[in-house]
Amino acid sequence: MKRTAVNPWAWSLKLGYNQAEVIEGTKRQVVCAGQTSVDDEGNPQHPGDMRSQIALALDNLEAVLSAADMGLANITQLRIYATDVDEAMKHFDLLGARFGPVQAAPPMTLLGVTRLAIPPLMFEIEATAAD
């Protein structure tokens, strides 16, 4: 798979994502359901702790990708939902810590929502990946 970043403006790079990417030569695509801060039985974890919820949601996303023989470097798009956007953005260093080492900056969208499917969840991340 060949990825070409498209950034007519550089400001998004400071936030860790490309405005777009041209993806060529893919063999497989994986569309992941939203991953949240739940344990392996689906029980919500870390109520009221945005940082811990983001970390576990990322762990769960990596587990799903790994089960499909992919990783964070394969992600071609992220969609993030947060009940408190300002609080979520305070902890986006966690995304940088995961995506930086694999040199990935997939296009992403961050949306503020009034609630997620299961209270007390505050953060959900969906991904599309390809190889």
In degrees and rounded to multiples of 5, residue 117 shows phi and psi of -60, -35
Tens digit of pLDDT for each residue in 70-118?
Answer: 999 999 999 999 999 999 999 999 999 999 999 999 999 999 999 999 9
Q: Could you tell me the pLDDT band of residue 129, with boundaries at 50, 70 and 90?
A: very high
Q: Is the pLDDT assigned to residue 15 strictly greater than 90? A: no
| Distance (Å) of CA 110 to CA 27, 28, 74, 82, 127 | 28, 25, 19, 7, 12
Return the structure tokens found at 54: 């983001």
Q: Could you tell me the pLDDT band of residue 59, with boundaries at 50, 70 and 90?
A: very high
Domains in the chain (CATH in brackets) are: 27-130 (3.30.1330.40)
DSSP calls for 42-53: S-B-STT-HHHH
Question: What radius of gyration do the chain's Cα atoms show?
Answer: 14
Q: What is the pTM of this model?
A: 0.92
Q: Is the pLDDT assigned to residue 19 strictly greater than 90? A: yes
Q: Look up tokens 């023989």; give the residue.
A: 69
What gap in Å lies between CA 112 and CA 130, rounded to an integer? 27
Q: Could you tell me the pLDDT band of residue 14, with boundaries at 50, 70 and 90?
A: confident
